[in-house]
Chain A
C-alpha cells in the first residue's frame, strides 16, 4: 500500500496499529530469545556467584537487546489500543474497554520496564559483588514472571466482554482462550515460592506451559484482530462477516435481537 493510499484508507489507523503490534511481538521474541537469552530464563536456584557469572556471559546481548526494548517498548500500547477498540465495538458497556485499557497500560512498568532496568544495571557492572548481582537477577526474573494480577484481571475483562457480546466481534471460543491465558497467571504464582521442580520461574508449569499458552494466545489474537479490522464497517450493532474469514467467524446476531 502506497503512503498516499494508506493515508486515505479509512482503516489506516487500525492497520498501522496492527502492523506495529506484529512488529512489537516479533521484536520482543527476537530480543528475549535470541539477543539476551532471557528466555528460556536463567536458573532460579543459582548461587550469587553463578548469577554474577550469568551477567558476565550475557553482558553484550543483555545491553543491546534491552536497549531495543527501551526504545520500542512503547509500541506495546498499539495492541492494547486495538483490543480496547474491539471491546468498544461490542454490545457491552464502555466500562469493559476502559478497564482493559487502564489495566494493561499500568502493567508496562512492573511487567517489562523492571526487568529491563534490573538486568541492564546488572550487566553494566559485572564486577559488582555476587550478592547484589544475585538480587538484581532475581528482581529481573521475578518482576517479569511475577507481575500477574494485571494480566489475570485484564484477560478476564476481555473474556467477559466477548462472552456477553452480541455483535459477533470475536468467536466465543476465543473468550475461553482468554480464560486459559488468565489461568497461566494463576499457575505462575508458585514461582514466588519454589526454586526447583515444576513450579519455579523456569519450570515446566510456570514457564514451558505458560509460554506455550501465551504464544498460541498471542498468535490467535493477532490473527483475530486482523479479521476484525477486515470486517469493521464503522457502524453499530452486529459486525458483518468477511467473505474470506467465515471459517472462524461466529454468525453475527440478528439485528435487533
Chain B
C-alpha cells in the first residue's frame, strides 16, 4: 500500500467526524444560543436540569471525537517534511501544540459532563462547573493561535519553485490566528461582544475554527492527490 493511501484514509475520516461535530454542536442547547455568563446560579442549574439528556449526549460525542482532529493535523505535519526548511523546528512546534488544543477542549467536555452528571446538586456548584467548562472552552485558544502562527511561518519560509502549500494558505492562517486572539480575553467581561457568549469570543472564534478545518482539509486533499500522482508517475518512469 502506498503511503498516500493511508493518508487518504485519514483524510476521509474528516467528513465523517465533521458531521458528528456539527450534530453535537446543535445537540448541545448551550451552543445554539450560547449560555450567558450573566445567568444566575439558579438559572444555570435549571438549564442543566431541563436539558440533562441533550447535554450528556452532545458532550459524550464531543469527548469521543474532538481528538479526531489530531490525525488530520499530523497530515499537515507530514506535508511539512517537504518544505524547503533546514531544520524540523517548525514541525516540532506543530507537534508540540497539536495535542494540547483538542485536550483542552476535552477537558471542557469533562466539566460540562460533570455538571450534567448530577443536575440536582447545589446551584452554585453547577455554576462553578459551568464556568470552568466555558472558560476552558472559550479562553483555551493559545495552542490554536500558536498552531496557525507556526504554520504561517512554515509556509512563508517554504521558498521553492513548487511550494508545498500555496502562499495564500499562510496569510489565511494569520487571519484565523487574529480571529482567535480576542477569545483569550473573554474572562474580562460578562457583557458585550467579548463575553464568552459574544459575537467575537463565541461566533467569530468558532466560525474561524470551522473555516480553518474546511479550508485546510480542501488544501490538504489537493496536496495529497498531487503527491499521489507524483508517486504514480515516478513508479511508471522507474
Interface residues on A, range: 35 or more
Binds A, one of B23-31, B55-63, B87-95, B209-217: B87-95
Known: A12-B157, A82-B89, A109-B103. A67 touches B131 (CB 8 A): no
User: Quick check: is A41 within 8 A (CB to CB) of the other chain?
Assistant: no
Residue B128 contacts which of A84, A88, A128 (CB distance < 8 angstroms)?
A: A128
Binds B, one of A43-51, A110-118, A144-152, A194-202: A110-118
Min C-beta distance of B192 to chain A, whole Å: 14
User: Which chain B residues border A88 with CB–CB below 8 Å?
Assistant: 88
Known: A67-B139, A77-B150. A105 touches B128 (CB 8 A): no
Residue A7 contacts which of B147, B157, B185 (CB distance < 8 angstroms)?
A: B157
A64 to B185, CA, bound (A): 7
Would you call B139 and A84 a contact (CB within 8 A)? no
A72 to B184, CA, bound (A): 9
User: Quick check: is B181 within 8 A (CB to CB) of the other chain?
Assistant: yes
User: Which chain A residues border B157 with CB–CB below 8 Å?
Assistant: 7, 12-13
Known: A71-B184, A123-B187, A124-B187. A101 touches B92 (CB 8 A): yes
Known: A14-B87, A67-B139, A113-B104. A81 touches B92 (CB 8 A): yes
Known: A81-B96, A85-B89, A132-B124. A74 touches B139 (CB 8 A): no
Q: Chain A binding site: helix, strand, loop or mixed by DSSP?
A: helix
A124 to B185, CA, bound (A): 11
User: Quick check: is B145 within 8 A (CB to CB) of the other chain?
Assistant: yes
Known: A70-B141, A116-B139, A124-B37. A234 touches B188 (CB 8 A): no
User: What is the total number of residues of chain B having a CB less than 8 Å from a CB of chain A?
Assistant: 47
User: Which chain A residues border B37 with CB–CB below 8 Å?
Assistant: 124
Known: A16-B153, A85-B88. A71 touches B125 (CB 8 A): no
User: Quick check: is B75 within 8 A (CB to CB) of the other chain?
Assistant: no
User: Quick check: is A92 within 8 A (CB to CB) of the other chain?
Assistant: no
User: Which chain A residues border B142 with CB–CB below 8 Å?
Assistant: 69-74, 113
User: Quick check: is B143 within 8 A (CB to CB) of the other chain?
Assistant: yes
Would you call B187 and A66 a contact (CB within 8 A)? yes
Would you call A105 and B100 a contact (CB within 8 A)? yes
User: Quick check: is A120 within 8 A (CB to CB) of the other chain?
Assistant: yes
User: Quick check: is B52 within 8 A (CB to CB) of the other chain?
Assistant: no
Would you call A105 and B86 a contact (CB within 8 A)? no
User: Quick check: is A57 within 8 A (CB to CB) of the other chain?
Assistant: no
30 A–B contacts from the bound complex (CB under 8 Å): A10-B86, A11-B86, A13-B153, A66-B187, A67-B184, A70-B141, A70-B184, A70-B185, A71-B185, A72-B145, A73-B142, A73-B143, A76-B96, A77-B150, A80-B92, A84-B92, A101-B92, A106-B99, A113-B107, A113-B136, A118-B132, A120-B135, A121-B128, A121-B131, A121-B135, A124-B37, A124-B135, A132-B124, A132-B128, A234-B86
B positions within 8 Å CB-CB of A = 37, 85-90, 92-93, 95-97, 99-100, 103-104, 107, 124-125, 127-128, 131-132, 135-136, 139-147, 149-150, 153, 156-157, 159, 181, 183-185, 187-188, 190
Given contacts A67-B188, A77-B97, A80-B93, 7 further A-B contacts (CB under 8 A): A13-B157, A70-B142, A106-B103, A109-B104, A113-B140, A121-B187, A234-B86
A positions within 8 Å CB-CB of B = 7, 10-14, 16-17, 63-64, 66-78, 80-82, 84-85, 88, 101, 104-106, 108-109, 113, 116-118, 120-121, 123-125, 128-129, 132, 135-136, 234
Closest 3 CB pairs of A and B: A74-B146, A77-B96, A73-B142
